[in-house]
Structure 1
Amino acid sequence: MNEVVIVVAEAVSALGDNRSETWQRLLAGESAAAEVTSFSSTPYYCKIAAEIKKLDSRPQGTSRLELLLKQLFRNLPATLPASCTLNGSTLKGAIDQQEQAWRTPATTSENNKFNEFARPLPVMAAELVAENFSRNHPGLLINAACASSTVALNRAASRIAAGFNDSILVWAAEIISEFVFAGFASIKALTPDTCRPFDKDRNGLMLGEAAAALLLMSSAKAEQEGFTPLARISGWGIANDAVHLTAPARDGRGLIKACHRALKRANLEADAIAAINAHGTATIHNDLMEISAFTELFRKNSTRKNIPLHSVKGALGHTLGAAGALETTIAINALSEQCLPPTAGLIEPEIEICDQVSHKCQNFSGEHLLLTNSGFGGVNAALILSKS
């Protein structure tokens, strides 16, 4: 089996135009939470999100997603190896263009309005990525709810390890739109004030915008192309608990299984994990599920009882399908610097993990970091990043 390495990792978030700026502002404890400006939040009980404000000023007919991807492209190599294929994740693509088409019937011809709805929105995003890198095919699009890009990274790592591909670019991008905002508001999933992952008084998630891309290669291909690896993907796993349309299994059974599969693939025991990047949405049931899963995984199977963990969603918002890719770029920095950023919004953590999560930076020592994401429909995905 081939060793899988990450050779390029970049991101655009509500805290920065690139991975470095995002990382530095996370370390400083900043949060991008602010009043929504891309549409009127008057009808909704929630008024905040982690928007990328510069996307507000865009030409008529241009999607926020297009501008977001163009900013991401500026951070990436201009060309990719000829053998490199594309794996993408976006749950809603340029959905703001559809909203705009519906809201401007006087200026939108019936034919153009039909075209806006006839083309699948994620495909439109994939075509932009393919065009930027002069590819004739948009590649694979993966939709696994809020674990989408983590599943995409799983698949890419699996194919490279097995020798089916030597390089794959995994990208993900999500914007905030009123349609999606209204949907989460309708199920009372949004916080009306502050997003507080793993806090006793958490009351909901905050939506965010981001784009991220990671170039995965076999170690042999990376050496051939002259890349210095940023990290290895040593383990990966996916599982589905399938108990509810929007809620996770309360005991964390699906997440536990995904993590066990990642550990087995990496040939590691649980006590090899030095830190955890948790999904940490700040909804009541998600955070309790993760606490249950990590307790089962580590306090019962590891000599390391208090493994530090964090969530970035209090600072960057929940970026849905882009969450895993965005958080992987952050986890690379965390592993390199042996430091987890603060969990923004946290005041009083749940008692079970009060010695594992903090509103301050947490130093750790070790070779391996576990990253997890979960989504609607019961999907769970895990990655183990290791020092290169």
Structure 2
Amino acid sequence: MTNSQEVATEIVDHHLGTRLISAGEAPGLRETVVDLVAEAFPQQVETLMGQQLDLLTHPSGTQWPDAYLADESAAEDALQQAAAGLRVALARSGQMSGKAQIFERNASASLRDDPRAALRAELARVPRPLTRPQILEWSLDPAPWFTESPSEPALWPPAGLYSVAGLLRLPGGVAALPRVSGGPHEGWVQIGFAEGQLTPARRYPADEPARQIQIIVGLEADGSDTPSSPLPLAKAPWQLWTRPLRRLAPHLVETAAAARHIGATDQPLVALTDASTTTLVNAPLPSHGLGLPHFVLAPAVSVIAALGLEPTEGVCGFSLNDAQGEALVGRQWRGHLIHDGHYKPLLPAIEGADLLIRPDLFTRLHNIVGATRCHAGLRVVHQPAEQLSPIINTDDRNH
């Protein structure tokens, strides 16, 4: 194997691995894509990517730029070029695919770089809200750990972090879940919250390491005194926001059965979706795509079924409806631009998301779970003092 082929293999696995697997690993497709990338790499990709990195990064920097780079573009072009001849290639090997239109439509759905999650996330973006449990109000000051003066010690970790160290549930139970204080969702209950705060390493005016905080809050149904999982989130497809549950999981749409399941089964009621560039432990990396946020939360499948929710029609972000109107929404935020001491584009120190539910539906869900089984799970970790990798895996290429 040549060096270009090795590099091409890494590029294809990194950017396209998930989609190739979801498409069923069509015979020869991955190999063809690798060959096309390997052919383009020394002639075009390597030069263009070098120019991009020179413009967007500092020679001593370690952070990948928040940009669509030549390697990802080359992988995408190679995939689409190879997939265009997939049906013919399969026919030559004796694998007939039936009707061409159906085959092309199914292949396209599996292999395309779907922009809808990123567009929905952009439509769901709001200015960074103040809504969060009272015990986490210290985290409203985003990145207090850098100091411009070498004579002043940097505050790390933030003093308020000690108030939640080791906690796996919010003190005070679900009563500690905050309510939105203004805007179109005033009075709604925040049943899910996720926020990452990152300050990159820098050397000037003083050496300071990269530091990071991640905060997770999620509603749980659990009959034990201590939660069975350290992270109060389930996993779910992001299409819960866009496709009716009867199409995604026809066997789970019966409302009474879902309510009985929630009332008797220990489970997180909030999920981290596969559109997030942050993944749960041992979860596969999500498909890469420009604009995907770190966190895209959703209600667990059982919650959607038990409350009889449907995706909101029309152009919107993350929104579910019931017979009375909008019932549950997901919000996104990103901002607080900072630098690492070099002359390079600023980076967002804050990435976050939350999940809001209408007050009457929160009461209904609380009754379904049961007062003694309804909890608010909590997990706060920081780095470098406490490594994040055992709990959450993040892709170091920030899309």
TM-score (norm 2): 0.22
* Structure of higher RCO (CA pairs closer than 8 Å, 6+ residues apart): 1
Rg comparison, structure with higher value = 2
Instruction: Give the TM-score normalised by the residue count of structure 1.
Output: 0.22
